[in-house]
Chains A and B, each alone.
Chain A
Amino acid sequence: MGALFSFVMVILLVLLAYAGIKAANLQIFFGVVIPYAAILTFLLGFVYRMLKWSTSPVPFRIPTTCGQQKSLPWVKQNKIENPSTALGATVRMILEVFLFRSLFRNTKAELRDGRLGYGSSKWLWLGSLAFHVSFFTISFRHLRLFLQPVPSPVHFVETLDGFLQIGAPTFLITGSILLLAALFLLLRRFLLPTIRYISLPADYFPLFLIIAIASTGILMRYFLKIDVVSVKELTMGLVSLNPMIPEKIDVIFYIHLFLISVLLAYFPFSKLMHMGGVFLSPTRNLSNNNRMVRHINPWNYPVKARTYEEYEDEFREKMKNAGIPVEKE
């Protein structure tokens, strides 16, 4: 249900852009207005969400400890999985953000004849990593459309990406990896009963959208071979705030651009915000040094608790009879 709905939505978006260009000649709308609006929504939305999270304080230091704590000098601490310093916590975060450390732990439980076993299960880790790395590489590569001259790191990444050195234009591997990884993540949702059970439209929609973006990109580059020079004229126009619409751009480009705009605008309102959120996660980004440094809760307030005096008042006679010292005889 959720999958079908999301699929239809993405198809409608494609058709919308197609019709907009082909039937209504809305090049300016799809090539200028929408991209600007999308970028603006993305930036403002992203910042807003991050601020919103940051305004809720972290009242307690609650890292999930995944290794030996710092204690006696001869006990070997796991300085990364149970950090006691900011450095350790930083390394932990880097491993989490760039290498998906926690997903790497993934196991799959299996019950056979009343016995539970836990097999290592790295597919999700591999698929997600492939997905994210290729996504970011591709985004980075696209900087060539927005910068003049094209900076050398962008050239460099592009060369790396084309290491297979086949085809003209050179085949860049990340595009296909992204597509395959996204399909893998989608198939998981279709085929694994538990994952299907928990999936929402909001899980399918971005996947279909990204699949559509990757597909139109690949189509453009290798099959329809659109005029890159004109595309760069358009994109440079956008960056220099001097928007213009070159003539010879195929409709497929506008579809691609529109889908990306939708993704950008959708981003801050969706689970995709995990990109920013992961940095704020208190179970990961804090060091477990509560016993060394007192953590301050900004809204700590006094509570009425039972005092010793009240306690002794209630039990004084019994305490005296039992020979337990009391404050007031």
Chain B
Amino acid sequence: MAKLPTPDELSKINYKPPEKRWVNTPAEFKDGFWCFGTRPKYLQAVDMPNPREWKPIEDDWKLPENWKEIFLEGFAERLKKYRSFRLFMDICVRCGACADKCHFFLGTGDPKNMPVLRAELLRSVYRNYFTTSGKLLGKLAGAREITFDVLRELWYYAFQCTECRRCSVFCPYGIDTAEITIICRELLNLLGLNTDWTMGPVANCYRTGNHLGLEPHTIKSIIESMVEDIETITGIKIEPTFNRKGAEILFITPSGDLFGDPGTYTCMGYMMLFHELGLNYTWSTLAAEGGNFGLFTSNEMAKKLAYKIYAEAKRLKVKWILGGECGHMWRVWNQYLETWHGPTDFLETPVSPITGTKFDYTSSLKAVHIAEFTADLIKHGKLNLNPSRNDYLKVTFHDSCNTARGMGIFEEPRHIIRNVCNHFYEMPENTIREQTFCCGSGSGLNAGENMELRMRGGFPRANAVKHVHKHYGINMLANICAIDRAALKPLMDYWVPGVEVCGVHELVGNALVMKGEKERTTTLRSEPLPEKEAKENV
């Protein structure tokens, strides 16, 4: 694996593009920037085309004979299916407003990481085959043929975009390079050109329902071990149920919350909250994954993986769905889920059994975000909270791209944090809410072999954290996304050591005073509560 440069080396970034025109500069594959190609077994597992052993770095990708035809036919088909795609291929004026809005451009200085140019890579091919001017004028009209070099370039840069939509916020026509990347990756997938890190979870998810490939009994035992931890910390034994028919609520969260810290602490937070409320909910071992790496593969794959959500809700005869903290899961739910698998007439409009609040803004999707659910509880004073247990933390909040720009959930998590923590500080304005910067590892890029790219992509985010770390002593970066919890940790260790990462419901779990709990001496991380420790040492 490529050696990671030091933060100092890495933060010297040159934004000046080279003299040579980009069309004449084939992509140079740099170590640490690209992910391994998918293994054939993953494609075979879900019946995706052209499985084979291949290496992105090699000159022979073992493409099918007629790969150009496949690519162009797929292209034409998607132009017909998506107005977004056809329009975004046509109306960019290359004003450059999006150029320095992409974290990958800001972190690499590679001009092909400017959203406009990332899109032009594909747009140039579009012009050549699908526009009159391109057909007539060729290069003069900015058109180029699809060649192996072009394909390599498309691949290299499609996997240097986290589909975060930040560019789309600034574009005068709303051109969403994420949408273009999504479709570009679909085209690449027609040729079997996914990354291993994306395709593995997809294959796992198809078989077991979750990305990690956890089988039902394992899910149960993982959750039970969390239950034990909770008992150790609070003295309270909680009893989650699995695949229980007739529960009122089906709870679904990304499997990242089940595996590896700090995700597991967030999960403990959810369960403590539910126990305290006496919530009538169940887990489903099949729908134990809200995340959907299909989104980073193809629309069809995403739809297949999302099938289980409503199917399990129906089978278990619940009334509505409660969704955990996850970014792309919520983008998928908000933008696609019901269009794919609706209508949802077997469910009811969600009502909070505790506060009686009817969540009528989700009367059709019938799924409530846990941050909305908890914010409502707090607003109604239904929780006994002791925010001083989080006093050793100085917290800032990272808006996940997907929930920010593909949904717009900003206030709910902040409301929660303000009530469970005493020290909350925002990062600078241009780096939060709809202008939030990606963790740099979204959309299936959180592999190990592309670590330099991830650290570079996360540079703008880390830079903003560093700012508040310096000014307010921030030591905790809260978020509502499982990929963030996994990806921000190495990012902080690299750029801003001393800042930890947590889900919002970990903070809730810490502050929640449960009925009959013993005096807490540790946090959910089983670390001694600092003031307790101080007292004991007196």
Closest to A111 in B: B13
Whether a CB of chain A sits under 8 angstroms from the CB of B225 is no
Are A271's CB and B339's CB within 8 A?
no
Closest to A203 in B: B94
Q: Identify which of residues 283-329 in chain A touch chain B, using a CB-to-CB cut-off of 8 Å.
A: 283-284, 288, 290-297, 299-300, 303-308, 311, 314-315, 318-319, 321-326
When chains A and B are docked, how far (Å) is the Cα of A264 from the Cα of B339?
40
Are B220's CB and A322's CB within 8 A?
yes
Distance of A186 from chain B, by nearest CB (Å): 13
Whether a CB of chain A sits under 8 angstroms from the CB of B521 is no
Closest to B132 in A: A269
When chains A and B are docked, how far (Å) is the Cα of A266 from the Cα of B207?
54
Distance of B2 from chain A, by nearest CB (Å): 22
| A residues in contact with B133, CB < 8 Å | 202, 269-270
Q: Which of B7, B168, B244, B464 has the most CB of A within 10 A?
A: B168
| B residues in contact with A283, CB < 8 Å | 84, 168, 174-176, 179
Are B120's CB and A299's CB within 8 A?
no
When chains A and B are docked, how far (Å) is the Cα of A295 from the Cα of B333?
12
Among candidates B93, B308, B379, residue contacting A74 with C-beta atoms closer than 8 Å: B379
Closest to B314 in A: A308
When chains A and B are docked, how far (Å) is the Cα of A202 from the Cα of B124?
12
Are B8's CB and A114's CB within 8 A?
yes
Are B364's CB and A294's CB within 8 A?
yes
Closest to A62 in B: B335
Whether a CB of chain A sits under 8 angstroms from the CB of B70 is no
| B residues in contact with A57, CB < 8 Å | 81-83
Are B300's CB and A303's CB within 8 A?
yes
Distance of A104 from chain B, by nearest CB (Å): 9
Closest to B166 in A: A64
Are B217's CB and A65's CB within 8 A?
no
If A65-B407, A274-B91, A303-B304 touch, whether A103 touches B97 (CB-CB below 8 Å) is yes
| A residues in contact with B90, CB < 8 Å | 49, 53, 271, 273, 277
If A67-B434, A116-B463, A198-B117 touch, whether A61 touches B335 (CB-CB below 8 Å) is yes
Are A198's CB and B86's CB within 8 A?
no
Encode contact with B along A242-285: 1 for CB under 8 Å, 0 otherwise: 00000000000000000000000000011101100110111110
When chains A and B are docked, how far (Å) is the Cα of A5 from the Cα of B82?
34
If A56-B80, A64-B169, A124-B95 touch, whether A292 touches B216 (CB-CB below 8 Å) is no
Distance of A185 from chain B, by nearest CB (Å): 8
Are A66's CB and B132's CB within 8 A?
no
Closest to B124 in A: A200
Whether a CB of chain B sits under 8 angstroms from the CB of A118 is yes
When chains A and B are docked, how far (Å) is the Cα of A96 from the Cα of B99?
19
Among candidates B22, B340, B357, B362, residue contacting A292 with C-beta atoms closer than 8 Å: B362
Distance of B360 from chain A, by nearest CB (Å): 8
If A294-B342, A324-B217 touch, whether A106 touches B97 (CB-CB below 8 Å) is yes
When chains A and B are docked, how far (Å) is the Cα of A307 from the Cα of B286?
9
| B residues in contact with A323, CB < 8 Å | 220
Are A294's CB and B343's CB within 8 A?
yes
| A residues in contact with B286, CB < 8 Å | 308, 311
Distance of A266 from chain B, by nearest CB (Å): 9
Are A71's CB and B339's CB within 8 A?
no
Are B361's CB and A292's CB within 8 A?
yes
Q: Which of A54, A55, A61, A65 has the most CB of B within 10 A?
A: A65
Are A5's CB and B140's CB within 8 A?
yes
Q: Identify which of residues 81-128 in chain B touch chain A, using a CB-to-CB cut-off of 8 Å.
A: 81-87, 90-97, 99-101, 106, 111, 114, 116-117, 120
Interface of B is mostly: helix
| B residues in contact with A107, CB < 8 Å | 100-101, 170, 430
Whether a CB of chain B sits under 8 angstroms from the CB of A155 is no
Are B172's CB and A291's CB within 8 A?
no
Are A60's CB and B412's CB within 8 A?
no
When chains A and B are docked, how far (Å) is the Cα of A84 from the Cα of B455?
36
Whether a CB of chain B sits under 8 angstroms from the CB of A68 is yes
User: Number of contacting residues on A, CB 8 A?
Assistant: 99
Among candidates A74, A300, A315, residue contacting B215 with C-beta atoms closer than 8 Å: A315
Whether a CB of chain B sits under 8 angstroms from the CB of A144 is no
| A residues in contact with B514, CB < 8 Å | none
Distance of A259 from chain B, by nearest CB (Å): 19
Among candidates B81, B95, B96, B206, residue contacting A59 with C-beta atoms closer than 8 Å: B81
Q: Identify which of residues 45-84 in chain A touch chain B, using a CB-to-CB cut-off of 8 Å.
A: 49, 52-62, 64-72, 74-76, 78, 81-82, 84
Whether a CB of chain A sits under 8 angstroms from the CB of B376 is yes
* Partner-contacting stretch, out of A20-28, A188-196, A224-232: A188-196
Are A306's CB and B120's CB within 8 A?
no
Are A324's CB and B220's CB within 8 A?
yes
When chains A and B are docked, how far (Å) is the Cα of A19 from the Cα of B21?
36
Number of A-B contacts (CB under 8 A): 317
| B residues in contact with A69, CB < 8 Å | 361, 407-410
Are B94's CB and A199's CB within 8 A?
yes
Whether a CB of chain B sits under 8 angstroms from the CB of A216 is no
Whether a CB of chain A sits under 8 angstroms from the CB of B424 is no
Are A193's CB and B17's CB within 8 A?
yes
Closest to B312 in A: A308
Are A288's CB and B216's CB within 8 A?
no
Are B340's CB and A300's CB within 8 A?
yes
If A57-B81, A71-B372, A281-B87 touch, whether A105 touches B170 (CB-CB below 8 Å) is yes
Whether a CB of chain B sits under 8 angstroms from the CB of A223 is no
Closest to B338 in A: A294
Distance of B428 from chain A, by nearest CB (Å): 8
Are A59's CB and B339's CB within 8 A?
yes
| A residues in contact with B463, CB < 8 Å | 114-116
| B residues in contact with A322, CB < 8 Å | 216-217, 220-221
Are B17's CB and A197's CB within 8 A?
yes
If A200-B94, A311-B286 touch, whether A288 touches B408 (CB-CB below 8 Å) is yes
If A66-B405, A75-B411 touch, whether A198 touches B300 (CB-CB below 8 Å) is no
| B residues in contact with A111, CB < 8 Å | 11, 13, 15, 106
Are B172's CB and A103's CB within 8 A?
yes
Are A291's CB and B100's CB within 8 A?
no
Are A62's CB and B179's CB within 8 A?
yes
| A residues in contact with B324, CB < 8 Å | none
Are B169's CB and A271's CB within 8 A?
no
Are A311's CB and B209's CB within 8 A?
yes
Are A64's CB and B165's CB within 8 A?
yes
| A residues in contact with B92, CB < 8 Å | 271, 274
Closest to A107 in B: B430
Closest to B300 in A: A303
When chains A and B are docked, how far (Å) is the Cα of A280 from the Cα of B340?
23
If A269-B132, A311-B209 touch, whether A68 touches B408 (CB-CB below 8 Å) is yes
Are B169's CB and A67's CB within 8 A?
no
Among candidates B83, B97, B216, B411, residue contacting A56 with C-beta atoms closer than 8 Å: B83
Whether a CB of chain A sits under 8 angstroms from the CB of B365 is yes
Are A305's CB and B379's CB within 8 A?
no
When chains A and B are docked, how far (Å) is the Cα of A52 from the Cα of B86?
9
When chains A and B are docked, how far (Å) is the Cα of A270 from the Cα of B176?
20
A-B contact pairs, 18 of them (CB 8 A): A5-B140, A56-B83, A61-B335, A62-B84, A65-B407, A67-B410, A71-B409, A72-B376, A103-B97, A108-B100, A114-B11, A118-B431, A192-B96, A198-B96, A278-B91, A291-B334, A304-B304, A305-B311
Given A102-B169, A294-B364, A325-B245, 10 additional A-B pairs, CB 8 A: A64-B176, A65-B406, A66-B169, A75-B375, A197-B21, A197-B111, A288-B334, A290-B335, A292-B363, A311-B209
State the 7 A-B residue pairs at the shortest beta-carbon distance, nearest first: A305-B307, A69-B408, A65-B408, A322-B217, A283-B174, A277-B91, A118-B430
